[in-house]
Structure 1
């Protein structure tokens, strides 16, 4: 098959319009329906996943000295998958060998490769859904959406933004400077897109494709070969991605090694070697701020894009839909056991209580309402497993046990199924709020002296510790304005009065800029021009032109 830009040019044009309009649009349906993906898609996806279990994962012509893998499904399924593994030097050499050909390819060719790969990945969404489920612990509906269509949306968003940034200026110009009575000075000028070099994408355990696709596709589209370093516990979703990308690259006449997989095992990671290698020019990283700090301290003259640790807050000052508020927060706190970078952690409530559509509610009334909503939501074990998913990392249980001593337990976490846990809710101290991220199903309700104090505390933690999301419940326009200004200064995306089926955890491609890049939770925003422009330069050639 010949990879042609025209094949998906209409999809690209619509994506570019969506970038500006910020309205709802997606070419990739989030509904796992046979009517959309084909009647056999569900069974074929499961069969394809089952066929991978216990096998060597095949990547045609990929550098390999051995095959390794140590993934264990949080749901208890034994995976026994191994992947081609090479040394850091072998990977760098292979990537460098592919660099010139990728950089020399026309913009339209590179973009066409990315678009075709995304369309093919979309067709594999059921397979990727099972791969995501059994490496991250997400329940299948969420794994299908987040690992498949939603990740593909974010990848397409990055490609569309990259195309815009690379083509927004003229490639050539004739420059004339008037000289009065004399002939004008005439120069001919040409500009080229020059990629920065090898890009490294460091994947995370919980959202291996959703968090990685923007960087992968932004780098590829702008001509930078990519080495993808998955989390050792979540390799398969990105290995499938690498296989598709390498196939499409070969069909386009470009080197397969423009995309490589760097696998390792826990305790024998290659990440630091890759990060510090002098030939690596771009780093995309999702994970803890501690390791992000290490990257910054041990690299220079590299482009580093991060999404990091943060403390997301909810401020409750009043509501005209108390039951809706409690139900919305119950789902937000339970979804994937708080293992999302957007999950709320600290809940600030005035100690004197709030006004609601059901009358005045005390601090204890509000916390009880939220807890009762969680209990009602998760009372059925099967439903609880579907919403909470499974813990991706056993260390989360230890963290929960430690955190339980930092406040008064208002709701004890339960385990309705193996490795499935429900939210732990604690009452924090008024004079000592939780000001560090506790990743997982742990939240603190914190009494405040006033609504204004609640807003100030939440915004201050966002400024000092970082935050990706914030939520406000209020009926007073002045408080909404105050909160809007406070969280804007803290560079946090604020959701106000969510009571329906939109949750603070959710981030919509083509509309929501995920992470602002303006606080400690990350220095990059998915996906804005700054996320793209640093991946290439625009060197110029100019010479006098004779008239």
Structure 2
């Protein structure tokens, strides 16, 4: 180990090939989690991967279709899929993947994972970090293939799939590795403790400190962002010496199956047992996550998904350290602006991106009923809503442009929400949704956002806006004042949970009030965003995704509290000085 200072965090001279290969990347990652500056070792420009990389990635994905994906894990007792009726995946863009995955007897798989732990846990933290960095580097070379997997399990458009489903997920994984490395270095590996005694002598103890992993970590993944939400926990656990059992969403197995495949190959090449990382695919209705989460061998649980199941895990997986990321109701206050047209464009894109299926998508836009001050003069509430609707229409006017922004709807329940909101049952419809046709995938279901007008003084409308509406459903909410808007924003975050909040204002006192409200509610605030950065985005190595304060979850991507509970430090005291 070594103390957690810039001087002593330099990697040791280990013989590992991977330490030599990734020393510079890891040292840079350790630096940027301190400085919070922009950096990534994984280019987000597609052309950086070569002129034919996209075509090669698409070909690699196509080669996976209709075939079994084998992992050579112990305890195989059957197959999951490929028929969707038997648990197989179906692309939101309208076709069956036809991929089958091995199913395993947990009674055989868990002991094999436990047997892999001792040598991995005894390895130097730098060596573990370097192996994790190598896994991520190998995954990075498959980024276009991973993007295809994200498109056809989660419904992302291509660009979002390449970013959130591939390179930004890889960044989240490396960020967790850097935090894990830093936290394991807080205690020195050795120390000499000497206490002066009354007789003038010194009583001396030679002390050593060793990090000890908790055991097996269970990753329960979601369908929306299986890699982006999954990699932080996977790599935080692995880098701190734990084994990781990956339980993917039944409709989004492929991204994490490819991840497990790569991790197992690298671990074996590095001389470790590949059973440190295993996949636990499940049959329809098996509810394997509930079974695994309460097994005594499972000591860590990472989960991203609904509040209902996240709360169940917190209440029932008592033997484990549970990290949750749950549902959120995100709110933005529009009080005033010096950049009216730019603000509208930014808001329209934020509402439309991935069809509002992002966990950070704004749902409630709070606007004073008396209107707002702008660089174009005063705008009434009705005018702001109409102009925002016009900005949405312009952004998504043609299908080719719309498909580059929207995503395929993840299921019939999302479409039902859109249609219910569009019916006028919730309130007046300011922007009606329209069906978008993707010529490459004519069976995909895409809809532009529906914008409904609500009134914060109506009990019925308050109940509507307090519920989570995943998908392209948003509300323009009339509030009595900026103060009432700030109070509502805070109350929603505290009671329902929030991952993002925003304010547009030229008034310092309103900005200060919003900042204080968000600090107390525990939600990241974005102020006056215009241009090409949006409330939906989170900059890896710099922004903290969630705070662990409000009901949207108890964990943060990524901070010390996210990695430190995954291991413990055990000391040994020996009489006398070393040597």
Instruction: Flag the 1:267–1:184 CA change in 2: closer, same or farther, 3 A.
Output: same
Q: In the alignment, which residue of structure 1 is the partner of 2:192?
A: 174
Give the Å deviation of 1:169: 1.9
**Is residue 421 of structure 1 aligned with residue 447 of structure 2?**
yes
**Is residue 101 of structure 1 aligned with residue 101 of structure 2?**
no
Give the Å deviation of 1:106: 2.3
Secondary structure at the counterpart of residue 394 of structure 2:
helix
Q: Point out 4+ residue stretches in structure 1 off by more than 6 angstroms.
A: none
Q: In the alignment, which residue of structure 2 is the partner of 1:79?
A: 97
Alignment match of 2:71 (pick from 52, 59, 82): 59
CA distance, structure 1, for counterparts of residue 38 and residue 577 of structure 2: 51
Give the Å deviation of 1:249: 0.3
Aligned pairs for 1:515-534 within 5 A: 515-534=546-565
Alignment match of 1:7 (pick from 17, 21, 26): 21
How big is each residue's C-alpha offset from its partner over 1:249-283, in whole Å with a ceiling of 9 and x where there is no partner?
00111111100001124423311111111110000
Instruction: Flag the 1:452–1:157 CA change in 2: closer, same or farther, 3 A.
Output: same
Alignment match of 2:525 (pick from 494, 497, 507): 494
How big is each residue's C-alpha offset from its partner over 1:8-33, in whole Å with a ceiling of 9 and x where there is no partner?
10000011110011010001011111
Give the Å deviation of 1:77: 2.5
Q: Do 1:407 and 1:429's aligned partners in 2 also have CA atoms closer than 8 Å?
A: no
CA distance, structure 2, for counterparts of residue 513 and residue 305 of structure 1: 15
Q: How many residues of Structure 1 are paired with residues of Structure 2 in the alignment?
A: 545
Secondary structure at the counterpart of residue 452 of structure 2:
strand
How big is each residue's C-alpha offset from its partner over 1:414-458, in whole Å with a ceiling of 9 and x where there is no partner?
111240011111112322321121111111111111011111111
How big is each residue's C-alpha offset from its partner over 1:389-425, in whole Å with a ceiling of 9 and x where there is no partner?
1012221122334445222222222111240011111
Instruction: Flag the 1:546–1:71 CA change in 2: closer, same or farther, 3 A.
Output: closer
Q: Do 2:352 and 2:406's aligned partners in 1 also have CA atoms closer than 8 Å?
A: yes
Give the Å deviation of 1:67: 1.9
Secondary structure at the counterpart of residue 323 of structure 2:
strand
Q: In the alignment, which residue of structure 2 is the partner of 1:503?
A: 534
**Is residue 252 of structure 1 aligned with residue 275 of structure 2?**
no
CA distance, structure 1, for counterparts of residue 382 and residue 18 of structure 2: 62
Aligned pairs for 1:242-391 within 5 A: 242-391=260-409
Q: In the alignment, which residue of structure 2 is the partner of 1:19?
A: 33
Q: Do 1:516 and 1:523's aligned partners in 2 also have CA atoms closer than 8 Å?
A: yes
Give the Å deviation of 1:498: 0.8
Q: In the alignment, which residue of structure 1 is the partner of 2:471?
A: 440
How big is each residue's C-alpha offset from its partner over 1:363-395, in whole Å with a ceiling of 9 and x where there is no partner?
111111111100000011121122111012221
CA distance, structure 2, for counterparts of residue 206 and residue 444 of structure 1: 22
Give the Å deviation of 1:108: 2.3
Unmatched segments (≥5 aa) in structure 2: 1-14, 82-87, 438-443
How big is each residue's C-alpha offset from its partner over 1:450-483, in whole Å with a ceiling of 9 and x where there is no partner?
0111111111110111100001000011111111
Deviates more, 1:456-465 or 1:390-399: 390-399
CA distance, structure 2, for counterparts of residue 428 and residue 87 of structure 1: 51
**TM-score, reference length from structure 2:** 0.92
Q: Do 2:73 and 2:109's aligned partners in 1 also have CA atoms closer than 8 Å?
A: no
Secondary structure at the counterpart of residue 378 of structure 2:
strand
Secondary structure at the counterpart of residue 131 of structure 2:
helix
Alignment match of 1:32 (pick from 46, 50, 54): 46
Alignment match of 2:177 (pick from 159, 166, 173): 159
Q: Do 1:230 and 1:262's aligned partners in 2 also have CA atoms closer than 8 Å?
A: yes
How big is each residue's C-alpha offset from its partner over 1:89-113, in whole Å with a ceiling of 9 and x where there is no partner?
2332222221222212222221111
Aligned pairs for 1:174-253 within 5 A: 174-253=192-271
How big is each residue's C-alpha offset from its partner over 1:189-239, in whole Å with a ceiling of 9 and x where there is no partner?
111110001000111101110110000000000010000011111111111
Give the Å deviation of 1:180: 4.5
**TM-score, reference length from structure 1:** 0.97
Q: Do 1:463 and 1:520's aligned partners in 2 also have CA atoms closer than 8 Å?
A: yes
CA distance, structure 2, for counterparts of residue 135 and residue 5 of structure 1: 34
Q: Do 2:74 and 2:112's aligned partners in 1 also have CA atoms closer than 8 Å?
A: no
Q: In the alignment, which residue of structure 2 is the partner of 1:409?
A: 429
Q: In the alignment, which residue of structure 2 is the partner of 1:512?
A: 543
CA distance, structure 1, for counterparts of residue 473 and residue 284 of structure 2: 25
Q: In the alignment, which residue of structure 1 is the partner of 2:9?
A: none
Secondary structure at the counterpart of residue 65 of structure 1:
strand
Q: Do 1:306 and 1:523's aligned partners in 2 also have CA atoms closer than 8 Å?
A: yes
Instruction: Flag the 1:126–1:302 CA change in 2: closer, same or farther, 3 A.
Output: same
Give the Å deviation of 1:181: 4.3
Secondary structure at the counterpart of residue 537 of structure 1:
strand
Q: Do 1:288 and 1:309's aligned partners in 2 also have CA atoms closer than 8 Å?
A: yes
Deviates more, 1:465-474 or 1:405-414: 405-414
Q: Do 2:187 and 2:209's aligned partners in 1 also have CA atoms closer than 8 Å?
A: no
How big is each residue's C-alpha offset from its partner over 1:103-126, in whole Å with a ceiling of 9 and x where there is no partner?
122222211110101111110001
CA distance, structure 1, for counterparts of residue 119 and residue 427 of structure 2: 58
Give the Å deviation of 1:505: 0.3
**Is residue 42 of structure 1 aligned with residue 54 of structure 2?**
yes
